[in-house]
Structure 1
Amino acid sequence: MIFDRILNKDLVSWFALLCGCVRNGLANKSMQIFCDMMANDIRPDVIVMVKVLGACFELGVLELTSCLDSYVIRGGFLSNSFVGASLIDCYARCGSLGRLTEKDVVNWSSMLQVLLKKELNSST
């Protein structure tokens, strides 16, 4: 309700709303907020993209991950290691790590962490 009363919604207000939804387990709502934000000509920054990819991770939907991956490439976010690591998490959640093309030290570390978690979970 407070968000709706804000007259000049900027990136910070959209991000606060999106974060609140992600923190409260409302990943679907977070993705809708991201779409609404974009429809209102508010373009995300790196921090917003990492949070959106976190919501995408919670959903574990490959098609959504692929769409966000395309947006990350078009938006020039792929050079950011945090965004790259978040994409790896999303693809790993979907069981599709082979789709990744950009791999640096952070991304390799993220992939290793995902694989170790899978190994530990399967051995218990």
Structure 2
Amino acid sequence: MAIQGPEIKFDGYNMLLNECVNKRAVREGQRVHAHMIKTCYLPPVYLSTRLIVLYTKCECLGSARHVFDEMPERNVVSWTAMISGYSQRGFASEALHLFVQMLRSDTEPNEFTFATVLTSCTGVLGFELGRQIHSLIIKRNYESHIFVGSSLLDMYAKAGGIHEAQGIFECLPERDVVSCTAIISGYAQLGLDEEALELFRRFQREGMSSNYVTYASLLTALLPAFGNRA
């Protein structure tokens, strides 16, 4: 970079930023970013998005938002990357506010945008917005997508809407360990222990693979039984 100076273009920056993202090397990424600014290189949308991904992965949300706000144009990937950064770090209101801004910008959300923003739909206000997002998902025909469906049923289950969650689960064209675990967890958290255990047995018979989250949810359902025995 130092030798090439202003001559370094997309391919060089692309390679360097991908390496920085893979290794979460924020300092090196900041140097690449600084080089862009120093040489007056205006990065295309893809490279700016890579910077956002790097900064959010390294918990530098302020830097990520600065890059996002400076972008002369954005696409669904750049919007989703910034929304995801807020969602994953627990900044639910910021994620939801940015999603509303995205809709106002006439950028069309995709399945990853919907799946990401639904994880921030917590609390009374968040749940109400989540229901509105659900209506938007139906209009866009994303409800049967495995990522979106899993996020939807998780949102309803956490809000106590287990019947809505069950309805979404039954309509999924395919199910994975995430969606199966989400519905088990929903029943367990509401104290519906027998239902949670019966679902687990059913999924086992159907050949579902389990992970540590599945077993943690199952233990939530089993604890009252052990308590009664004690």
TM range (shorter): 0.7 to 0.9
User: Bigger radius of gyration, 1 or 2?
Assistant: 2
Match of 1:115 in 2: 187
Give the deviation of 1:117 after TM superposition: 5.2
Percent of aligned positions with the same letter in both sequences?
26
Normalised to the residue count of structure 2, the TM-score between the two structures is 0.48
Matches of 1:60 and 1:68 in 2, distance apart? Answer: 15
Match of 1:60 in 2: 123
Match of 2:67 in 1: 2
Amino acid at match of 1:4: D
Give the deviation of 1:60 after TM superposition: 3.5
Residue aligned with 1:106, SS: coil
Matches of 1:99 and 1:31 in 2, distance apart? Answer: 22
The higher relative CO (CA closer than 8 Å, separation ≥ 6) is in 1
Amino acid at match of 2:143: L
* 1:60–1:90 Cα contact (<8 Å) kept: no
RMSD: 2.3
Higher mean displacement: 16-25 or 100-109: 100-109
* 1:60–1:93 Cα contact (<8 Å) kept: no
Residue aligned with 1:43, SS: coil
Structure 2 unaligned residues grouped into runs of 5+ = 1-65, 194-219
* 2:76–2:107 Cα contact (<8 Å) kept: yes
Measured against aligned partners, the alpha-carbon deviations of 1:84-124 in whole angstroms (never above 9, x if no partner) come to 11111000111012234341352872312432455517638
Matches of 2:68 and 2:86 in 1, distance apart? Answer: 13
Matches of 2:144 and 2:88 in 1, distance apart? Answer: 26
Match of 2:146 in 1: 81
Normalised to the residue count of structure 1, the TM-score between the two structures is 0.84
Match of 1:106 in 2: 175
Give the deviation of 1:25 after TM superposition: 1.1
Amino acid at match of 1:91: Y
Q: How many residues align?
A: 122
